[in-house]
């Protein structure tokens, strides 16, 4: 590891390059955590790189603008913390994948949500302030590794109270979360439907309504999809605008979760 490259924890607001974070979807997500938690919580730590920024939030690492020369140092950091997921820029991700055999690379597509006027009628079935316990019950069906209710509730309720995120449900069986709204860029996540309601078109109608709801306020809304869900979002008219790879710990990855990068991504 070259000594000139190092991680320095950011402890003062003036040390955090907000403008850099506001330039990309990943950076905006990092900024949303800063807005929710600041720099005072041990589970939400920002570090300055040579030119970029690293955030470790619970079991996920987010990185913007890392240099390829910093890969060795970053690999050591990952081995120390063993996060569930690592999201970073290329070619750093590819280099980390070679150095960290404990991780798999999963392809992820960013879809821009497009409105559908026919979905407007869905609003009567939308719950804008649902019980978070009910939301968690829906999410567990779609995210089997979301197994710590206390951690999820603490984080979600905190972000909602601070106006960073907003949770909604549709017909009591489908949920989606506005993860952040920064400079009219909205990330939608944690989309799930109860097993007994799947195949009824609830997620399709809810997401189309949500796209139109956000569009009327001039928002550009996107969501992420691993390969297993990509065809669904294409079918409902959402438009792919970016493809990338993220790293996840291999023992957590199931075969249907995403298409593995075999070195050609």
3-class DSSP state of 55: strand
- Using the predicted structure, report yes or no on whether residue 263 has a pLDDT greater than 50: no
Which pLDDT belongs to residue 252? 65
Q: What does the radius of gyration of the chain's CA atoms come to, in whole angstroms?
A: 19
Q: What homologous superfamily is domain 110-244 in, according to CATH?
A: Gcn5-related N-acetyltransferase (GNAT) (3.40.630.30)
- Using the predicted structure, report yes or no on whether residue 144 has a pLDDT greater than 90: no
Would you tell me how many other CB atoms lie within 10 Å of the CB of residue 183?
A: 11
Range with the poorest average pLDDT among 51-55, 135-139, 254-258: 254-258
Mean pLDDT of all residues in 59-81: 97
Measured CA to CA, the distance from residue 263 to residue 143 in angstroms comes to 27
Q: For all residues of the chain together, what is the average pLDDT?
A: 92
Which pLDDT belongs to residue 257? 54
Measured CA to CA, the distance from residue 232 to residue 196 in angstroms comes to 18
Measured CA to CA, the distance from residue 46 to residue 37 in angstroms comes to 11
Mean pLDDT of all residues in 214-223: 97
| Residue whose structure tokens are 């939308």 | 126
Smallest CA-to-CA distance from 165 within 32, 3, 14 is with 32
Beta strands 185-193 and 85-87, pairing class: unpaired
Which pLDDT belongs to residue 1? 42
3-class DSSP state of 45: strand
Which pLDDT belongs to residue 146? 86
Torsional class of 69: left (φ above 0), alpha (ψ -120 to 50), beta (otherwise): alpha
Mean pLDDT of all residues in 156-171: 97
- Using the predicted structure, report yes or no on whether residue 255 has a pLDDT greater than 70: no
Q: What is the DSSP letter of 260?
A: B
Smallest CA-to-CA distance from 24 within 82, 76, 97, 90 is with 90
Which pLDDT belongs to residue 147? 87
For residues 108 and 244, the answer to whether their CB atoms sit within 8 Å is: yes
Per-residue pLDDT reduced to its tens digit, 86-111: 999 999 999 999 999 999 999 999 99
Which strand ranges, in their side-by-side order, compose the sheet holding 44-48?
A: 8-9, 44-48, 53-57, 60-64, 85-87, 239-249, 103-112, 220-226, 185-193, 174-182, 166-170, 126-127
Predicted model pTM: 0.92
Mean pLDDT of all residues in 170-184: 98
Which pLDDT belongs to residue 15? 97
Q: How confident is the model at residue 8 (pLDDT cuts 50, 70, 90)?
A: very high
Extents of the domains making up the chain: 8-101, 110-244
Which pLDDT belongs to residue 117? 83
- Using the predicted structure, report yes or no on whether residue 264 has a pLDDT greater than 50: no
Would you tell me how many other CB atoms lie within 10 Å of the CB of residue 54?
A: 24
Which pLDDT belongs to residue 189? 97
């Amino acid at each position: 590891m070259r000594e000139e490259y190092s991680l320095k924890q950011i402890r003062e607001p003036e040390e955090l390059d907000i403008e850099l974070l506001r330039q990309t979807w990943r950076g905006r997500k990092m900024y949303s955590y800063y807005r929710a938690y600041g720099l005072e919580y041990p589970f939400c730590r920002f570090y300055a790189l040579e030119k970029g920024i690293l955030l470790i939030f619970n079991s996920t690492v987010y990185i913007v603008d890392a240099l390829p020369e910093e890969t060795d140092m970053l690999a050591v950091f990952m081995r120390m913390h063993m996060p569930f997921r690592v999201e970073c820029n290329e070619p750093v991700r590819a280099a980390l994948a070679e150095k960290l055999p404990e991780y798999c690379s999963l392809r992820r597509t960013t879809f821009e949500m497009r409105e559908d006027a026919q979905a407007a009628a869905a609003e009567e079935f939308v719950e804008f302030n649902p019980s978070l316990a009910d939301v968690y019950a829906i999410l567990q069906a779609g995210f089997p590794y979301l197994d710590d209710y206390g951690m999820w509730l603490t984080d979600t309720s905190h972000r909602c109270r601070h106006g960073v995120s907003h949770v909604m449900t549709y017909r009591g069986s489908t949920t989606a979360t506005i993860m952040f709204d920064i400079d009219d860029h909205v990330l939608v996540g944690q989309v799930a439907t109860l097993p007994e309601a799947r195949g009824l078109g609830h997620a399709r109608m809810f997401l189309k309504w949500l796209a139109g709801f956000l569009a009327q306020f001039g928002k550009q809304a996107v969501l992420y999809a691993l390969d297993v869900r990509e065809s669904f979002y294409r079918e409902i008219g959402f438009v792919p605008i970016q493809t990338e790879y993220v790293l996840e710990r291999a023992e957590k990855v199931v075969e249907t979760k995403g298409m593995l990068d075999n070195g050609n991504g």
